[in-house]
Amino acid sequence: MPKHLFKRYMPDPKVVREHKHLRFLARFLHDPNLFHMNRRSVSGAFAAGLFWAMIPMPVQMVAAAITAIVIRINLPISVALVWLTNPFTMPPIFYLNYRVGTWILGAPPDVGEFQMSLEWIAGQLDAIWLPLYFGSTVVGIVFGLLGYVGIRAFWRWHVIQRYRKRSVTSR
């Protein structure tokens, strides 16, 4: 199993439970499934993390953590994947999400001359929020499903390769 590929970068569950900013979740963090490294837990974490990474909101990590706790999937992986959208990647990702939303809704994608300012964004928010969030939800679902299926396939491939290698060396 590709546990060793993921486990190498995983924090210690005790450190996570005792972290000063996560104390309010302490009673939920004692579930061992939140830190297990199995195909179900890791693939679910990829689905949740990739979904929440595509949603433009200020508390993506909290949403990913709550999802991991409720669904009982790997917490550190789901929270870490949210950082795919960081200050450098947010503009192109959210612009793509906006364009997907306008394409699906059939809305015109033109909102005038783009200006990099909070005033412009606040003024245009009324025109862009529906396509942006609809497109983000669609892209999040698609990326979440691709992450889920991709990790499941990778995990299975890795197990088969290790089985074949073990059967060849045992002869």
**How confident is residue 1, by pLDDT bands cut at 50, 70 and 90?**
very low
pLDDT for residue 120: 72
What is the domain range of residue 42?
A: 3-169
Q: How many domains does the chain have?
A: 1
pLDDT digits (tens, 9 = 90+) for 89-108: 988 898 899 889 999 999 88
What pLDDT shows up at residue 81?
A: 93
In this structure, the dihedral spanned by the alpha carbons of residues 118, 121, 123 and 125, taken in order and rounded to 10 degrees, is -140
> Across all residues in the chain, what is the average pLDDT?
84
